[in-house]
Structure 1
Amino acid sequence: MARAPRRTPLSGSALIRLLAALGDADIPAPKDSFSDGLCRWFDWTDAISLSSALDGPQAAVADPRAAANAAAAAAERDCRRVREAIAKLGASADPTSDDFAPHRQRYLGWQQAMEAGIAPLRRRVRASLSSASPALARLAAVDAVMDKVIGARERTLLATVPAWLEQHFARVQGSQPDAWRDTFCQDMREVLLAELDLRMQPVDGLLEALRGSSPDQP
């Protein structure tokens, strides 16, 4: 049975757009700008921590170019290893059950693997920045604050992904009696990769800063 074309939402991350397309749902435009929304997530202690990260003195590095190059090479290998390990999980055999429960457990396992792999990876990349140059050390300090403030909210939002998948499971199972399992499992893999990309964005940003660093940066 041919699959119906998906609507393409116009806003949000790739993960949000994919979930909306799978659910045939519209994404409302945000009421506030990103900066306004972010401000509401910070309490006064978070604001002080962010200010300290931005203004705090950083120790000088003897050879910042060599340090940045070595740190970038190590961080790239680390990032590649984590991505490959999680992608390998997505390639494992699909559940054969007609119930959603095994698929839910499978996706929850993927999410746990992402959390277990990416959180320490992000800390390691921050440590690499801290040893590369004063400017990158300051960026690492800012990222640590942002991780603390945004991380809990991100985990709460990502915890809703299995519920979206369960709704999609019911729709596909009802509309494609002959091929629903293959269709759903492929869709779930696409969601996994989109969530992986979302979770990796902060790490990728830190790594990009590490790659592009130079000794004469402020």
Structure 2
Amino acid sequence: MVQAPQRSALSGPALVRLLARLAEADVAESRLSLADRLSQWLGWTDAIALSSALDGKPPAAAGGARAFGRAEEDECTRVRRSLVSAIATDSVLAGERRRGSTPSSAPRVGIDTQADYAVFRQRYLALQQSMETAIGTLRGRLRARLATQGPALARLAVVDAVMERALGERERTLLGAVPGLLGGHFERLRAGEQRRLTEAEAQTEVAADADTTRQRPAEGEAGAHSMQPQPALAHADSNVAGSRVAPLASDAWLDAFRKDMQSVLLAELDVRFQPVEGLLAALRTC
């Protein structure tokens, strides 16, 4: 028995592993070191700015700076919780059942043609913009606090600002490709539901034909009773006709997609928050 080759397990961030699974892609581990990959992403002007930040004289810390306290920790927690809540309670991602509204009582016999991925794509882009704006503002505030905590931390604040400018465009390009990957996942789930409906309809037709064959009288009996009313047969035919009702479409595939999209957004939030966590860790040493 031939077994399908298994995909190699990735050791990267949860976002990369999740996207690889949803895209059904076999992604190979990169053999480049972090320094080698950064050298491909940084232009020569970025390299000069980074070298100056690392080797130059550190900026003087502002006088009268207060020590690091709970205010910065609380602000980071507030921003993160706000973004998580925006993802969890988004009206498009919550869906009809999670919002508690009453579903339509009209039976559906096919996949909802209004389930358009363009709506989900627009919401993903909007939530991405919210993350970028909120985290960028928070990151700037933490850098400002670092700049008041001595030369070493002031240098770190400058390095972080250089890296944000240098890698910002690259980050937007890479994360901007995520909605496209999710679009492929959306279409595969919808196609799977369509196949399920087609197979269910075919099975219904086969069962109805079998019922008709079992209820059909033998040819001799049909001749003997051709002039007599056949209420039992008529009742059986009506039952056969009732068994031909088309199978209802399910929203399970759409609910699964909503859950997957929320998982991807939360994984992206973790990636975007890594610089903030690094700056916080530096401030805790004060």
Give the TM-score, by structure 2 length: 0.66
SS in 1 for 2:25: coil
**Aligned twin of 2:90:** 92
Counterpart residue identity of residue 15, structure 2: L
Give the greater-gyration-radius structure (CA).
Answer: 2
TM-superposed CA distance for 1:11, in Å, is 3.2
* Structure 1 segments of 4+ aligned residues over 4 angstroms from their partners: 60-64
SS in 1 for 2:115: coil
- The alignment yields a C-alpha RMSD, in angstroms, of 2.1
Equivalent pairs counted in the alignment come to: 204
Matched, 1:102 2:99: no
Cα pair distance change 1:60/1:125, threshold 3 Å: closer
**Aligned twin of 1:57:** 58
**Aligned twin of 1:26:** 26
* Identical-pair percentage: 50
Cα pair distance change 1:210/1:133, threshold 3 Å: same
Write out aligned runs for 1:123-134 (5 A).
123-134=140-151
Mapped to 2, the partners of 1:209 and 1:9 lie a distance apart of 32
**Aligned twin of 2:201:** none
Cα pair distance change 1:173/1:25, threshold 3 Å: same
**Aligned twin of 1:3:** none
Mapped to 1, the partners of 2:265 and 2:122 lie a distance apart of 13
Matched, 1:210 2:207: no
Q: Do 2:61 and 2:147's aligned partners in 1 also have CA atoms closer than 8 Å?
A: no
Mapped to 1, the partners of 2:254 and 2:146 lie a distance apart of 44
Q: Do 2:18 and 2:264's aligned partners in 1 also have CA atoms closer than 8 Å?
A: yes
Q: Do 1:8 and 1:21's aligned partners in 2 also have CA atoms closer than 8 Å?
A: no
Counterpart residue identity of residue 277, structure 2: D
Instruction: List alignment gaps of at least 5 residues for structure 2.
Output: 1-5, 97-113, 194-248
Give the TM-score, by structure 1 length: 0.85
Q: Do 2:61 and 2:149's aligned partners in 1 also have CA atoms closer than 8 Å?
A: no
Instruction: List alignment gaps of at least 5 residues for structure 1.
Output: 1-5
Matched, 1:80 2:81: no
Mapped to 2, the partners of 1:120 and 1:61 lie a distance apart of 21
Q: How big is each residue's C-alpha offset from its partner over 1:13-45, in whole Å with a ceiling of 9 and x where there is no partner?
A: 211110111122111221422211211222332
Mapped to 2, the partners of 1:185 and 1:47 lie a distance apart of 41
